[in-house]
């Protein structure tokens, strides 16, 4: 077996990143994007980042030869094949356990849309293997620090704490506190956790085992994906029952704004864009709009305001609110294109809208990275009606492609968008439109509907803020996260 060679560079830190997904191999949302960007970004700062992932079929297919293979006979009752190799410039450790990970489709959900019944064991094994790597299980590499992401990697710090060996510090990244990884207490033994971990409160959360709770309690540093979200999750309203812990650990909690890979999101070189364009090229954007409208059966009306939504279709994302508001919008010569998948009842609502308003609404009810890129190159504005939003990446994608973000004033949306009020417009700093946090559908038209309609030019044609968005300095690149 050939030895895997590392790129020549001055390494200042060896970092192990642990996650349940990673773009471009498998992705359900912004978590995958961020985890996928980190190795390149951190590498620019001399940080050798290696990522531990579950052995999903798509990940195994992406892994190139040669591979270094390590057999581990018993990890929580499962035989593990740990595969080390490279995939698209990323150094990976793949936890290959076919019984746990060789499943099609969404990594977390069964075909019926419900979480896999054994998700606790699936991600406990991932965390356990990551902890073993952290304590020196590999003969030729040991990390100086560990970066764990969301509940799927939430037990890494706990496993390390109760190991009888020197362990590296752990920084845990909170991408979305709403997903906590809760499992019955009687799984303590199956997860290989000592009773002390429960009795001390390290993993206990209202009578259950909480993967996210464990990470917040035990990790050395906590990172949220935006400064405002770091503040919001310390409140009872947004803390999902964990606000007390977060307030008690506020001294180790930092909000660091997410960013995007500007090479991946570049309308001038993006193969998904019909007519590539540079900043300020509105003619190409209008051409993309016409082609998009034709491709999906919408009238090729340049006067119509074309709205787009690329998102998980869930209540958190406010997709139900948009579905309820849509008929009012359609009275205003507005078209809507929706790309995404999510809750069945919300998807059904959009499908019904498309049937009732075929000249105003088009829906693509499945995940498509290509179509997500294409939509941003064509729509006049992107609607982001989230009830809460840890950071959000859609607003960055929209600004990068010249689509005006119309968003709720929550979380990272507040940190990244400057509302187009008269003062901001005069100063030339506006890069979007913000409306108050949405609560209920009946209140959504007064708070958001009028702001959406205000995007249109006085003549009623198109959108009045495209160029300011494309030239906005507020599109952060994917950035590094401190772990010291």
* Confidence (pLDDT) at 134: 98
Residues 6+ apart with CB under 8 A from 331: none
Whole-number Å distance between alpha carbons of 285 and 304: 14
Listed residue (331, 337, 342, 333) closest to 363, CA to CA: 337
Element (H, E) at 305: strand 305-310
Please, which residues have CB within 8 angstroms of residue 195's CB and are 6 or more apart in sequence? 188
* Structural contact between residues 246 and 234, judged by C-beta atoms closer than 8 angstroms: yes
Chain segment 65-100, per-residue pLDDT in tens = 878 999 999 999 999 999 999 999 999 999 999 999
Question: Mean of the pLDDT values across residues 176-180?
Answer: 97
- Which range, of 6-10, 385-389, 458-462, averages the lowest pLDDT? 458-462
C-alpha span between 482 and 479 (Å, rounded): 10
Judge whether residue 440 has pLDDT over 80: no
The CATH class given to the 13-255 domain equals alpha beta
Burial state string for 320-331 with b = 16 or more CB within 10 A and e = fewer than 16: bbbbbbbeebbe
CA dist., res. 457 & res. 425, Å (int): 14
| Gap between the Cα atoms of 169 and 344, Å rounded | 41
In the prediction, which pLDDT does 444 show?
A: 61
Q: Summarize the confidence of residues 106-114 as an average pLDDT.
A: 92
143 to 13, 140, 171: CA distances (angstroms): 8, 10, 13
pLDDT surpassing 80 at residue 341: yes
pTM (predicted TM-score)? 0.90
Q: What is the pLDDT of residue 454?
A: 66
Please give the pLDDT value at position 113: 87
Residue 134 CA from chain centroid, whole number: 25
Contact 350, 361 (CB under 8 A): yes
Task: Say what percent of the chain tops pLDDT 90.
Answer: 79
The alpha helices in 263-404, defined as continuous H runs, are 282-295, 319-330, 344-356, 369-378, 394-401
Please state the φ and ψ torsions of residue 33, each to the nearest 5 degrees.
-60, -45
Q: What pLDDT score was predicted for residue 105?
A: 83
Local structure of 208: helix, strand or coil: strand
Residue 459 pLDDT greater than 80, yes or no? no
- Pair of tokens at residue 350: 């959009």
- Does the pLDDT at position 443 exceed 90? no
The CATH superfamily holding the domain 282-470 is: Glycogen Phosphorylase B; (3.40.50.2000)
Q: Measured between alpha carbons, how far is residue 483 from residues 6, 120, 211 in Å?
A: 22, 27, 20
The 10 Å CB-count burial string (b at 16+, else e) for 35-70 is bbbbbebbbeeebbbbbbbbbbeebbebbeeebeeb
Tell me how far the alpha carbon of residue 9 is from its chain's centroid. 29
Can you tell me the distance from the alpha carbon of 194 to that of 198, in angstroms, rounded to the nearest whole number? Answer: 7
377 touches 316 (CB < 8 A) = no
Beta-carbon contacts of residue 350 (< 8 Å; ≥ 6 apart): 313, 319, 323, 338, 361, 363, 365
Return the pLDDT at 381. Answer: 93
pLDDT of res. 484: 36
| Residues 419-426, mean pLDDT to the nearest whole number | 86
Q: Bigger pLDDT: 482 or 165?
A: 165
Residue 378 or 470, more confident: 378
Output the known binding site. Answer: 27
All structural domains of the chain with their residue ranges = 13-255, 282-470
Q: Give the whole-angstrom CA distance, residue 367 versus residue 381.
A: 20
Q: What are 38's two structure tokens? A: 């980190």
Per residue in 192-239, pLDDT (tens digit) is 999 999 999 999 999 999 999 999 999 999 999 999 999 999 999 999
Confidence of residue 103 (pLDDT cuts 50, 70, 90): very high
Task: Specify the pLDDT at position 452.
Answer: 72
What confidence score (pLDDT) does residue 455 get? Answer: 63
Residues 404-412 have a mean pLDDT of 94
Q: What is the structure's pLDDT at 445?
A: 57
Quick check: 434 pLDDT over 50?
Answer: yes
Domain 13-255 identical in fold to domain 282-470: yes
Cα–Cα separations (whole angstroms), residue 100 to 117, 125, 181, 232, 465? 11, 9, 16, 35, 48
Q: Band the pLDDT of 254: cuts 50, 70, 90.
A: very high
Extract the annotated binding site for ADP-alpha-D-glucose.
27
> Which pLDDT score is estimated for 420?
87
Instruction: Kindly indicate the confidence band of residue 426, based on its pLDDT and cuts at 50, 70 and 90.
Output: confident
Banded model confidence at residue 469, pLDDT cuts 50, 70, 90? low
| Contacts with 37 (C-beta within 8 Å, 6 or more apart), sequence order | 23, 259, 260, 261, 478
* pLDDT one-digit tens code per residue, 26-55: 999 999 999 999 999 999 999 999 999 999
Report the 10 Å Cβ neighbour count for 409: 17
Mean pLDDT calculated for residue range 385-409:
94
- Reported as a single tens digit per residue, the pLDDT across 268-305 is 999 999 999 998 898 999 999 999 999 999 999 998 99
134 in Cβ contact with 146 (< 8 Å): yes
Residue 212's nearest CA partner among 169, 255, 251, 242 is 242
């Amino acid at each position: 077996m050939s030895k895997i060679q590392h790129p020549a560079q001055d390494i200042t830190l060896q970092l192990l990143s642990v996650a349940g997904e990673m773009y471009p191999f498998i992705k359900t949302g912004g978590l995958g994007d961020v985890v996928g960007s980190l190795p390149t970004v951190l590498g620019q700062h001399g940080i050798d980042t290696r990522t531990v992932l579950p052995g999903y079929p798509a990940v195994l297919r992406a892994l190139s030869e040669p591979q270094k293979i390590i057999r581990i006979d018993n990890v929580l009752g499962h035989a593990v094949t740990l595969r080390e190799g490279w995939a698209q410039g990323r150094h990976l450790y793949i936890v290959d356990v076919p019984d746990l990970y060789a499943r099609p489709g969404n990594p977390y959900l069964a075909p019926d849309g419900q979480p896999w019944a054994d998700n606790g064991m699936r991600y406990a094994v991932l965390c356990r293997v990551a902890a073993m790597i952290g304590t020196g299980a590999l003969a030729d590499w040991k990390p100086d620090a560990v970066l764990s992401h969301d509940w799927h990697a939430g037990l890494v710090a706990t496993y390390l704490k109760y190991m009888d060996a020197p362990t590296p510090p752990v920084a845990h990244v909170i991408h979305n506190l709403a997903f906590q990884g809760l499992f019955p207490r009687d799984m303590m033994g199956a997860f290989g956790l000592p009773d002390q971990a429960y009795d001390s409160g390290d993993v206990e959360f209202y009578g259950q085992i909480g993967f996210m709770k464990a990470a917040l309690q035990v990790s050395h540093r906590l990172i949220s994906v935006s400064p405002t979200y770091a503040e919001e999750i310390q409140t009872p309203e947004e803390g999902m029952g964990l606000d007390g812990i977060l307030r008690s650990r506020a001294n180790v909690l930092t909000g660091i704004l997410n960013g995007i890979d500007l090479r991946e999101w570049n309308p001038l070189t993006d193969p998904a864009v019909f007519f590539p364009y540079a900043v300020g090229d509105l003619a190409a954007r209008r051409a993309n709009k016409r082609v998009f409208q034709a491709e999906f059966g919408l009238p090729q009306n340049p006067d119509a305001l074309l709205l787009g939504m690329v998102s998980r279709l869930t209540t958190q994302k406010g997709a139900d609110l948009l579905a309820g508001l849509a008929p009012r919008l359609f009275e205003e010569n507005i078209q809507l294109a929706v790309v995404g998948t999510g809750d069945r009842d919300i998807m059904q609502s959009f499908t019904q809208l498309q049937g009732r308003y075929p000249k105003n609404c088009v829906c693509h009810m499945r995940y498509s990275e290509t179509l997500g890129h294409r939509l941003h190159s064509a729509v006049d504005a992107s609607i982001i009606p989230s009830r809460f939003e840890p950071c959000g990446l859609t607003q960055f994608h929209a600004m990068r492609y010249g689509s005006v973000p119309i968003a709720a004033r929550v979380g990272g949306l507040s940190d990244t968008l400057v509302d187009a009020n008269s003062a901001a417009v005069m100063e030339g700093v506006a890069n979007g439109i913000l409306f108050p946090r949405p609560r209920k559908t009946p209140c959504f038209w007064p708070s958001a509907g009028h702001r959406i309609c205000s995007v249109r030019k006085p003549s009623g044609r198109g959108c009045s803020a495209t160029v300011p968005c494309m030239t906005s300095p507020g599109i952060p690149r994917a950035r590094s996260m401190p772990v010291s």
